[in-house]
Structure formats: structure tokens, C-alpha cells
Amino acid sequence: MNFLDTKPKVYFKTFGCRTNVFDTQVMMSNLKDFEITQNEKDANVVVINSCTVTNSADSTARGYINSLNKLPKKPRVIFTGCGVWTKGENLFKEEKVDSLFGHSEKENINELLKNDERFFTAGDLEHIDETIVEEFVGKSRAFIKIQEGCDFRC
């Protein structure tokens, strides 16, 4: 990726609950060498923050991935969120997505996206974020996250 001219544009697609909405804000806060776009058709990179609470959530994410792969200017597709641990391996092996990273790696998103190679960094499930989100991009209300992931009871 060429960082000399303009910054590559990143679009975030967030599925699931407010935990994921917050996690997307954490990722946005840590993106220093990229520009955030609100239009996926302009994006060089699309980061999918997935939900895996139901089969329907999984199939919605798969449908979205397929739609990205049909865009005239196909973006690099990066998959993260709750689906990494359940569906990540298959998505990576089938080359449906370019790369994946788990919840614990989201504060490293800037460095991860600068890596042009394919990567699958699942991370661990015990991680607690240190980022303080100071600005909620595209949101009128801020909120505080009190746990990682969910108990799959919804």
C-alpha cells in the first residue's frame, strides 16, 4: 500500500450489538495512517466487525462479504469481531476475506493494516482494551463498554 500520496481509505461495517459499535470506535481511534470513509465504494479497505450470535448473523456477514467481492473496485476485506473465533478459519482458508484479527488485536489495527501480506491473528479472549474513545465517529451519543463479547443469550 502506498502511504506517500494520500492515505488509504477505510470503511467500517459493524454488525451486532453495542459492544461491537464500541469496538469499532476503538479501532477508529487507533487508525493513524488511514482515512476513515463513510462510503464503502470509495474504500481501499473494508473492516467487517462481525457478530456470530445466530446462524442468521453469520449468513448476513457472508452475504456482505460476497457483495464486496463483486464491487467494481474490490477493496481489501479484513474480518474481525466475534465471528473470528467461530467462522474465521473457514473464511481465511476459502479466501473469502483477505485477513482476520481478533478482539484483542483491535488496538493494533494501524500496524496490522499496514501489513500487505495476508494475516490471521486470532489473539486471545482475556484481553481488556486500554483505549479511551474520545470521539464517537458518526454517533450522537457516547456509551461505556462493560464486558468483552457476549454470553450468547440473546
Which chain residues interact with ligand SF4 by CB under 6 A?
A: 16-17, 19-20, 51-53, 82, 149-150, 154
Which residue is nearest to ligand SF4, using beta carbons? Answer: 16
Q: How far is the CB of 136 from ligand SF4 (least distance, A)?
A: 17
Residue 52 near residue 20, CB atoms below 8 Å: no
In the complex, least distance from residue 152 CB atom to ligand SF4, rounded to whole angstroms: 6
At closest approach, how far in Å is the CB of 83 from ligand SF4? Answer: 8
Give the residue with the Cβ less far from ligand SF4, 6 or 152. Answer: 152
Nearer to ligand SF4, 25 or 44 (CB): 25
With helix as H, strand as E and coil as C, how does the chain read? CCCCCCCCEEEEEECCCHHHHHHHHHHHHCCCCCEECCCHHHCCEEEEEECCCCHHHHHHHHHHHHHHHCCCCCCEEEEEECCHHHHHHHHHHCCCCCEEECHHHHHHHHHHHHCCCCCEECCCCCCCCCCCCCCCCCCCCCCCCCCCCCCCCC
Q: Nearest distance from residue 20's CB to ligand SF4, in Å?
A: 4
Nearer to ligand SF4, 14 or 44 (CB): 14
| Distance in Å, CB of 35 to ligand SF4, minimum | 26
Q: Which is nearer to ligand SF4, 7 or 104 (CB)?
A: 104
Distances from the Cα of 4 to the Cαs of 32, 129, 141, in angstroms? Answer: 14, 31, 35
Q: Which of 69, 86 has the CB closer to ligand SF4?
A: 86
